[in-house]
Amino acid sequence: MEEKVGIYFYKNILGQNKYIATTCTRSGQGIDMMFSHSVKKFNKKAPKLNLGTYLLIDGEVFKI
């Protein structure tokens, strides 16, 4: 499987993308982990007043 890169970000009140972290994986299980264990940690880093936390993988955006 090709290496997949994920970018975590949130949208602030002004609608701007604010990047939190990046990650990469080469397996299907790694992609599952992108959506699961780290979400709580990233939500703690993002301010409470935001428009959601997101994950960008290969041009597709997922709300987490």
pLDDT along the chain (64 residues), means of 10: 90 94 90 83 88 92 92
Rg from Cα positions in the chain: 12
- pLDDT, residue 1, reads 65
- Domain total of the chain: 1
- pLDDT, residue 25, reads 92
Which helix H or strand E contains 47, and what residues bound it?
Answer: none
**From edge to edge, which strands make up the β-sheet containing 4-12?**
17-25, 4-12, 50-57, 60-63
The domain of 30 spans: 4-63
Helices of type H across 1-64: 28-35, 39-45
Global pTM reads: 0.84
